[in-house]
Amino acid sequence: MKIIVGNWKMNGDEALAHEFIDAFDNIDTQNTVVICPPAELLAYFKGFKYSVGAQNCSYANSGAFTGETSPASLKKMGCSYVIIGHSERRRLFSENNEMLLAKWKNALTNGLTPILCVGESNQNDWNNELTRQLDIFSGQDLSHTIVAYEPVWSIGTGEVPSNERITQSLQFIKKTVGNTVTLYGGSVNIGNYKTILNQDDVDGVLIGSASLKVSEFSEIVKY
Ligand code: PGA
């Protein structure tokens, strides 16, 4: 059994949400399927046959945090997962390790399964960059967390690390934070998902652009 997560990012609309809900009603798979649409589309996913996740959450529960969404309200909206620390959040919105640790804790406290993203921007420094991102989680229990290895240079570029590097990185993550579920993400598509999912330690995949195409994503979830 694998975990297949679709990250729609800031894409999609009500029509696409309905297209997915209708199509997935007729899809049967043993895999865990999670769609993470933009927050304003979450309401359309009420009654979705598979799981729904958010792309971000606040480290706070309520109060003067303009523009933020608490994990408790995401849970009420039907989410059971939340992506934490996607490289776009780290890079474009200056989310640092301390913030991400606080978000991670708050997600878990409110009953959401965090999908924590890590990944290097410089291929030659992969293990040091991963260490810098994971250090803050040392001593924490990540057994109810999913860690997604997403090399920044692979996201949206069509470039994928070698099979050996994927396995090596996921093993490195498991060794650093203890027992956790590990996904690979970055340019996963209809042409490469089988090879990637066949690799040791790949418990699933986190998919960006290919998760917006119902024909591709529905094929992948049937792995
Ligand atoms: P991609 O995005 O599949 O479009 O490369 C993956 C991600 O950003 O999670």
pTM over 0.95: yes
* Ligand 1 pocket check for 207: Cβ under 6 Å: yes
Predicted local confidence at residue 44, as pLDDT: 97
Q: What's the CA gap between 125 and 76, in Å, rounded?
A: 40
Predicted local confidence at residue 136, as pLDDT: 95
Residue owning the nearest CA to atom 7 of ligand 1: 208
Low-confidence ranges of the chain (pLDDT < 50): none
Predicted local confidence at residue 179, as pLDDT: 85
* Ligand 1 pocket check for 181: Cβ under 6 Å: no
Predicted local confidence at residue 200, as pLDDT: 86
Q: What's the CA gap between 185 and 211, in Å, rounded?
A: 12
Q: What's the CA gap between 220 and 223, in Å, rounded?
A: 6
Q: Which amino acid is at 90?
A: R
CA of 183 to the centre of ligand 1 (A): 12
Q: Which of 5, 115, 155, 157 to mutate to test the pocket of ligand 1 (most atoms within 8 A of CB)?
A: 155
DSSP letter, residue 89: H
Tokens of 68: 């933020």
Give Dmax (Cα) for the chain. Answer: 47
Q: Which atom of ligand 1 is nearest to the CA of 209?
A: 4
Q: Quote the Cα angle for 18-23-159, to 5°.
A: 95
List, in order, residues 6 or more apart from 106 with CB less than 8 Å away: 57, 58, 59, 60, 61, 70, 71
Known catalytic residue at 144: no
The CB-side HSE value for 30 (13 A sphere, CA atoms) comes to: 3
Predicted local confidence at residue 169, as pLDDT: 96
